[in-house]
Structure 1
Amino acid sequence: MSESTHSVADELKAMAELVLLGMIWGGSFLLMRVAAPEFGPFALVEIRLAFGALVLLPFVYRARKRLAGRWHVLFGIGLINSAVPFLLFAWATAIAPAGISAIANSMTALFAVVFAGLMFGEKIGIRRGFGLISGIVGVIVMVGMPMAGVPVGWAALAATTAAACYGLAGNLVKRHLAGLPPIALGGATLSCSAIVLSPLAIWHWPGQPLTVTVWASAITLGVLCTGIAYAFLFRLLETIGPSRTATVTYLVPLFGVAWAWLVLGEAVTPGMMIAGILILGGVALSQSRRPPPVVPRQA
């Protein structure tokens, strides 16, 4: 095989992997929509954290010496990076269409820019400023407009707050944990969050029997959409770089809305389309030629 043919094959493989990651992360909102009403946020998130951590445990073990002495920081960042946003997304998907959370999740990139400016003095500039305004208007549209006759304001606010947590956590990692293996950090923060949340999960564990579908959705959310997807993300970061990997931000809400429509029959409303265009347009404007300060985020 010639070098040019090999290059084309690698390019097509990378694009396929990028689309697959968007499909997996988009599917997380569908799975939460199925499982959250039955499990409740605390029990569902505990399962997600525990199974995600198990998948990444070998990477944590390999980096255990480098992580030593950092566990107090890992616990704190784990709450902001995993436990709190996962709970907010689980609560939001339990009461509102999955597409709302999928769209709001894209605000992560905009919040990352805001916190990078606050913490590192990075200039926002006119282009990014317009991007932030567009994203904020998109959130306002979601909060203020009923979607398919369902008021979704609180769910939209919860999902947007979760995106803000992701944006903050990425910058905290940059400040306090730079230089450590990112995939091991992911496994460590998931483990820390699972430990902290376990008492609340036990206390709020559902008393009624749960169906196989609900259990399968919860476990898939942890194993595939959290653990495997996280490892998958860092493979892409190594092969195609952070700038191109960040384009998954545009795929996640598209697949999130599409999965909910195909599987659950959730309507794609004009309000969702308007909000999605505003938020994704804001994300596009916020992208600079430099690599983004944080990696893309799942739900």
Structure 2
Amino acid sequence: MLRRWKPLLAYTVVEIVLPWFFLSSAETRLPSSTAGLLLAAVPLVGVAVAFLSGRPERFSLPNWIGVLLGMLGVAALVGLDVAGSDLVGVAEIAVVVVGYAIGPVILVRWMSDLPGTGVVAVSLLLSALIYVPVVALTGGWPAEPPSAAAIASVVTLAVVCSAAAFLIMFALIAEIGPVRTTTITYVNPAVAIIAGAVVLGERVTIWTIIGFALVLAGSFFVTRRRRDPLPTTEPAAVETATG
């Protein structure tokens, strides 16, 4: 991996360092519904990134229908409530969206042959090293020892939501490609609403159910592989195909 330090560093910056900082900041400025809706633009930006990088995705009609259904589902789930939105927060979410769209492309183009566990371990280590001086310079050290609950939360975030999630992302990229992998952002708002209902007792409306169904349908269609007809040299098959 040392020979690939340039793409590894680029991946670390666009997929981890910048998104974690800007997303955390944006969440203090924007309603969660607005943040969830904006993050759902990652697959669309991913299509644009793939096109600009010279490797456009060959999307079929069902794939594009899936993109549309996913966006409609997110809209139904989180609503179009942009009142009170902060332009700075919107710009910060835009940085996150672009970073999440570029990261998988870097993996596929320059590091697809590297072990996923190693890339995740090194990228997270690099992120920690980058953040240490930032924390030191901004006075972000804890004023007192964190509680046991806080420590457990950090460990859960590190192991489940970071390390395990990145390994699963590697597997998804290998299976369905970098653009289709970003459609996991369609599921985020649905999971957030379900967790809010179960853990916080938040109300579930008919739009919640409709939106969740649209999100799942969109994710299904957008991740479908394009099936091109197999060429054949059999005379009978050619005659049948040409009438």
CA contact (8 A) 2:135 2:141 kept: no
* Pairs aligned (count): 219
**Residue in structure 2 matched with residue 151 of structure 1 by the alignment:** 84
CA distance in 2, matches of 1:190, 1:178: 18
Gaps of 5+ in 1: 1-66, 292-299
Alignment deviations for residues 67-121 of structure 1 (CA, whole Å, 9 cap, x no partner): 1222233112210011111112222333445555455444333322221122134
**Residue in structure 1 matched with residue 161 of structure 2 by the alignment:** 225
More helix by share: 1
Change (3 A) 1:162 1:258: same
Change (3 A) 1:112 1:139: same
The within-5 A match list for 1:1-299 is 67-96=1-30, 98=32, 100-122=34-56, 127=61, 145-146=81-82, 151-152=84-85, 154=87, 155=89, 158-204=92-138, 205=140, 208-209=143-144, 211-232=147-168, 242-243=175-176, 250-264=186-200, 286-290=222-226
CA distance in 1, matches of 2:135, 2:59: 43
TM-score, normalised via structure 1 length: 0.55
CA distance in 1, matches of 2:143, 2:198: 28
CA contact (8 A) 1:109 1:283 kept: no
**Residue in structure 2 matched with residue 43 of structure 1 by the alignment:** none
CA distance in 2, matches of 1:207, 1:103: 32
Change (3 A) 1:174 1:231: closer
Change (3 A) 1:156 1:218: farther
Could you tell which deviates more after superposition, 246-255 or 274-283?
274-283
The aligned amino acid for 1:164 is V
**Residue in structure 1 matched with residue 236 of structure 2 by the alignment:** none
Gaps of 5+ in 2: 228-243
Change (3 A) 1:252 1:144: closer
Change (3 A) 1:262 1:90: farther
Change (3 A) 1:228 1:169: closer
Q: Which has the larger radius of gyration?
A: 2
The aligned amino acid for 1:151 is G
CA distance in 1, matches of 2:108, 2:169: 17
CA distance in 2, matches of 1:271, 1:94: 26
**Residue in structure 2 matched with residue 26 of structure 1 by the alignment:** none
CA distance in 2, matches of 1:123, 1:207: 46
Deviation at 1:181, TM superposition (A): 1.6
